[in-house]
Amino acid sequence: MQSETTEMVGKNIEIPLTDTPINKIYDVVIVGAGPVGLATAVGLRKRGIDNILVVDQARAFRRVGQVVDLLPNGLKALKYLDSNAYEAVKAASLTFANSQQSDDGKTGEVIEPKPPKASLEWVSKNFQGQRVRSISLSFDTWLKKYGEGRVSISWYDLQTTLRQQIPENQVKLNHRCIKVVDESENECVRLDCVSDASVEANPYAYWADGQNNIQLQDLDSTSQSPIAKSFRAKLVVAADGINSTVRKLLYTDSPNQAFAKPKYSGFAAIYCSEVLDIPNELRSYIEEKFLSGSPIVTVTNFKLSSSHAFSECPRIMLINRQSIGYLMHVHVPLHSVQGKSGCDLLDLALQELEKADFPDTLKELVQLSPPENVRQRPYYIHCAAISENSSATWSAGRVVLVGDAAHGMPPFMAQGANQGFEDAMVITTLIANIAKNNNWDNKQAIASAFEKYERLRRPFMEYVQEATLTQFPHKSDQAWQEYSQEVYTRDFEQVSTKFLV
């Protein structure tokens, strides 16, 4: 059925809207085919909820995004969602298992470990080049400690692997959700999607070079005639990332307007892919003192004892490929990185290193960076901590936010996708309950399920975001142990029995 409607999209473009038949109502439409949206789809299908659709604005699945570490809590959540998806993700990951017998007595499937053995730990050093801490990258070491392993996988491989668990026709590309309308009369929500050539870059997730050319990650310049389409669903799970459109739609023009867009976290990254022409003496010194054969080493001022000062001190990750590059995390105002040239960024990096008393050798290395190789990326956050009487909840009616759309944050504790998988685990369990009791039209049951989700997840996200912003787990071995117990060792089977059924 073609509707007569026309929808105003973006900058005054009128697009004829193709409406789906009113009798076609999905149980769940998921907005966003990132890791969290797809994990939710996988979990719903596993629980027998097949009448679902995932829409994504991307024109094509392309190799974009960074490497993501999946830690024990994220892998446990994924296993709970669907053990086949868990196995597939492990098999597609970069580091998988040591070839020896694993601790549970089973022999892990042997996959060529990439990167090689030398990379099986991530070392942090002080200014004297002494090891202060090392984090194992081996699946089996984490398995032994926390009852589940850890893997690294590129965002694209994670997306592809999860997508392959779902029938192709349940994931629709080229559908950017632009509007969510409550259709109480039809006991559903209508989602309007558009496909046009003018998709904007995500301003909250990009690297910009010195000329402020954004490194586009999810766009394709293919010119296409705009089309628009509507879908109806009993429930909408919004997994559309940190720059979530659905979140903006929920909060804009409401008392929660301030929560519509992500806020600058106070931290930014300065990245140099390759430092050229490093004098031999300096190169040998850095290789011997800091890198010592590792592909990546973090150097920071471990003398700062208060967690506040520690988190605000710059950290430099030296990256040892064919040549040396680095990634620095700095605590600076947004205006000092945004729109700055490569030279300005280098000046800023050097000032920050100087302020934190970094050794001259590392300052010399940074000084040698070609400005054209230097990029910046501010990190944004949706703060989970809100005042008790705030009404900025993660759901409204039949719509619920998950993953980065709910609580996106800087990647310092490698928890974004892992926490998103925990969201997916909780929300699919609750939706499965709604399905089991045929409560699709019971607004009270839906509201209570979404409240339960938020009661369970928000306080934990506050904890994880605090750890991310203050870096308190890195203050001492004891702080690290406590954080690890809190985050990695939980038994989700128990959580689900206690809270979700």
Ligand X SMILES: Cc1cc2nc3c(=O)[nH]c(=O)nc-3n(C[C@H](O)[C@H](O)[C@H](O)COP(=O)(O)OP(=O)(O)OC[C@H]3O[C@@H](n4cnc5c(N)ncnc54)[C@H](O)[C@@H]3O)c2cc1C
User: Residues 129, 411, 451, 462: which binds ligand X (CB under 6 A)?
Assistant: 411
Contact 367, 277 (CB under 8 A): no
Q: Does 325 bind ligand X (CB under 6 A)?
A: no
Beta strands (DSSP E) in 239-301 are 263-272, 296-299
Which residue matches tokens 């997916």?
424
Cα–Cα distances in angstroms (integers) from residue 364 to residues 53, 127, 500, in the given order: 53, 14, 55
Specify the 3-state DSSP secondary structure of 195. Answer: strand
Cis, peptide link before residue 16, omega less than 30° from 0: no
**By CB under 6 A, what part of segment 233-272 binds ligand X?**
239-241, 245
Which residue matches tokens 């990185």?
337
User: Residues 15, 26, 32, 98: which binds ligand X (CB under 6 A)?
Assistant: 32
Q: Which stretch binds ligand X (CB under 6 A): 248-256, 359-367, 416-424, 427-435?
A: 416-424
Q: Which stretch binds ligand X (CB under 6 A): 28-36, 120-128, 258-266, 450-458?
A: 28-36
Q: What gap in Å lies between CA 157 and CA 139, rounded to an integer?
A: 18
* Closest separation in Å from C-beta 360 to ligand X: 29
Q: What gap in Å lies between CA 75 and CA 415, rounded to an integer?
A: 11
* Closest separation in Å from C-beta 301 to ligand X: 22
* Closest separation in Å from C-beta 483 to ligand X: 15
User: Residues 403, 425, 449, 465: which binds ligand X (CB under 6 A)?
Assistant: 403
Q: Does 376 bind ligand X (CB under 6 A)?
A: no
**By CB under 6 A, what part of segment 64-83 binds ligand X?**
66, 68-69, 74
User: Residues 26, 29, 37, 75: which binds ligand X (CB under 6 A)?
Assistant: 37
Entry field: residues in the chain: 501
Q: What gap in Å lies between CA 213 and CA 372, rounded to an integer?
A: 11
* Closest separation in Å from C-beta 246 to ligand X: 7
What would the two tokens of residue 182 be?
């409550």
Q: Which residues on adjacent β-strands are paired with residue 194?
A: 176, 228
Q: Give the residue with the Cβ less far from ligand X, 413 or 446.
A: 413
**By CB under 6 A, what part of segment 170-209 binds ligand X?**
176-177
Q: What gap in Å lies between CA 219 and CA 85, rounded to an integer?
A: 27
Positive or negative, the Cα torsion across 246, 252, 255, 256? positive
Residues in binding contact with ligand X, number by CB under 6 A: 32
Q: Does 34 bind ligand X (CB under 6 A)?
A: yes
Q: Does 417 bind ligand X (CB under 6 A)?
A: yes
- Please tell me what DSSP assigns to residue 24: -
* Closest separation in Å from C-beta 238 to ligand X: 9
Binding site for ligand X (CB under 6 A): 31-37, 55-58, 66, 68-69, 74, 155, 176-177, 218, 239-241, 245, 403-404, 411, 414-418, 420
